[in-house]
Chain A
Amino acid sequence: AQSVTQLGSHVSVSEGALVLLRCNYSSSVPPYLFWYVQYPNQGLQLLLKYTTGATLVKGINGFEAEFKKSETSFHLTKPSAHMSDAAEYFCAVGPQGGNKLVFGAGTILRVKS
């Protein structure tokens, strides 16, 4: 079985500050890990993913995430927040070779000017 915990349902940062959104997962098999972003009144868009290989993955809009197996974490970061980053972010885990993803509860990011 797999599960995802996103720490903090709401995160608020100032424009230009570091963004850190936390995700911890539980998986009995090697996982694939994903971050999705949802802007108001839109569907979820894939931001980045880890499957195999390099543990630091880069995505769109300057975001990146690092897979840390020992910590069962896949935290999302961005060095400098922009107002347009305000959205809801979802972490998801899936089994290698499988189809079904399990999503976290989401974290709403607010960016203050």
Chain B
Amino acid sequence: DARVTQTPRDKVTEMGQEVTMRCQPILGHNTVFWYRQTMMQGLELLAYFRNRAPLDDSGMPKDRFSAEMPDATLATLKIQPSEPRDSAVYFCASAPTGGSVYGYTFGSGTRLTVV
């Protein structure tokens, strides 16, 4: 089965450190999403890309978060500097063109703990 791969699986870091999360979308999927999941807020859309271009990053705190797609096989989400309130599970999902008819395929997530 084709899958979305996220690394690392777990990350514990100290406040103020830079954190980079990586995502390998399914080959051929041209739309990539980043979500954050917390108990309080549920699933929040942070940003999404189509054909590597950012289409919407309105859900992302601009001062510390950045998302990029250096190439079609890699999406990254960076937090600099990290804060305890960033502790959450971060999911990447990918979809082919016209994704809303297919749904998304989610990765297993990166569990981030900022202490």
- Please report A residues at the B interface, Cβ cutoff 8 Å: 32, 34, 36, 42-46, 49, 51, 90, 92, 94-101, 103, 105-106
Contacts and interface: CB of A to CB of B under 8 A. Distances in A.
Interface stretch (B12-20, B67-75, B76-84, B94-102): B94-102
A4 B114 CA distance: 31
Contacts of A51: 101
Contacts of A46: 103-105
A95 B100 contact: yes
**Interface footprint category on B:** 20 to 34
A46 B100 CA distance: 12
A94 B43 contact: no
A90 B105 CA distance: 14
Contact of A101 (B97, B103, B108, B109): B103
Given A99-B48, A103-B43, 18 more contacts: A32-B100, A32-B101, A42-B109, A43-B4, A43-B106, A43-B107, A44-B104, A45-B106, A94-B99, A94-B100, A97-B98, A97-B101, A98-B99, A99-B99, A100-B48, A101-B100, A103-B42, A106-B42
Contacts, number: 59
Contacts of A105: 42
10 contacts: A42-B109, A43-B91, A43-B93, A43-B109, A44-B91, A49-B103, A92-B103, A99-B50, A100-B45, A106-B42
Contacts of A103: 42-43
A99 B31 contact: yes
Contacts of A43: 4, 91, 93, 106-109
Nearest to A2: B100
Contact of B100 (A45, A90, A99): A99
A43 B110 CA distance: 10
A98 B91 contact: no
Contacts of B106: 36, 43-45
Contacts of B98: 97-99
Contact of A97 (B4, B42, B43, B100): B100
Contacts of A34: 103
